Structure 1
């Protein structure tokens, strides 16, 4: 049985299946389809011709534009009809043709998107991805399965991210970039294959990070990527020197963490 709030507006040419939960002031536009295990929280709008399926929860005040397919079955070769989920946070915008897939049991069973994220036309979030808050994915961005993207990262149009890759907080990925390896917090990656060109100083400044702190992080960056040893060894060697700089420590902790991928470097190759 459907649970539809009295203030919700369901177009007569839309299909909301039995079992769906529709919150207050939700708008389901014409030719949209809401599956039987979907939850649309208060204020969600499906503009028209949008599909939300699977065990999917859409947070408050999200907008989903025509031809978007949210909560589809994963495209994993190991997909076997598992009972997995997709959860999207509040205030997200999914423009035309955006696709987001539910998780797989082998990858933890859930795909998660945070709050205040913007997904431009035809961008794709694959199974078991974990996305933070305030992320921008430009047109035609492709995330493979199991990708982690941290808060405030920006991904330029047409970039492609390899499975199991991590993208750190406030990283900037240039358009058409091939992201083969992990990208440090505040890093800027461009090219095919992607090359780390430095720090996202503009983004750091906009986030209110002081100029003096940016200079400290730049010094740490140079020691990590231009030091005598490999990236991980260089990072480990300077930890004590940057204990008082939260942003530098964020980069060092990111490098030290376990990962299935190597670290993107300042030359064409992994670090």
Structure 2
């Protein structure tokens, strides 16, 4: 459970907007609601926006006949190519947003119509960019880890919170007229955590499931790719004496159990493959081949 949807809903209602929360799995219903209620703004992950586009095509719904004017997309990295595709297909303006559960969810930074970085809410946060290895502050414009200090939170204040997200910061006034510092769009991290379909996943999560099912400590690698705007996850597991089966039926049941438990744990389909030792570098637990920039 994340704080993002609730924060967006409460914030939108506070300024007088009507909000219709919907499950990500009810694509046809979402298209009908956007049409019937003349929705003007779509807030979602970019992955969901692409899925809605495909759903509209299946339903023969022309986005130009809807009332949509803009889209706010976040919770996962997305490229300029994806932005161009969403804007061209849905005939809207697509902007980025940045937030995290530890810092009250959405609202840490928002992209303005200039689309030249995300404005940090400096009335609530003090941003810094540091070297993730030395922890020393970096000069403006240098790529480093974003560190944030909350100055308005009361129940759960954070001082120099390391986000793990890599970006650059620009303190020059923006062409839109705002003077709050901007951070570049975030496409990478300084650790093994990966963002897939709006959810954070770590190798340790995968390891726990693999260990529970196999009864050992299997050597594995997570491979992430993106096809037609959808993230695909493949987990390679080395064959060892612990889970080597001379019967294909037992091996198939083992792979099916891994697939079922991993998919249930993460919330989406995960492909599992057993491979020979030496197939991959065990020191590299994550291979993210997605292209965002």
Higher relative contact order (CA 8 A, sep 6+): 2
Range of TM-score over shorter length? under 0.3
Asked which structure has the greater CA Rg, the reply is: 2
Give TM-score, length-normalised by structure 1: 0.25
Give TM-score, length-normalised by structure 2: 0.24
More helix by percentage: 2
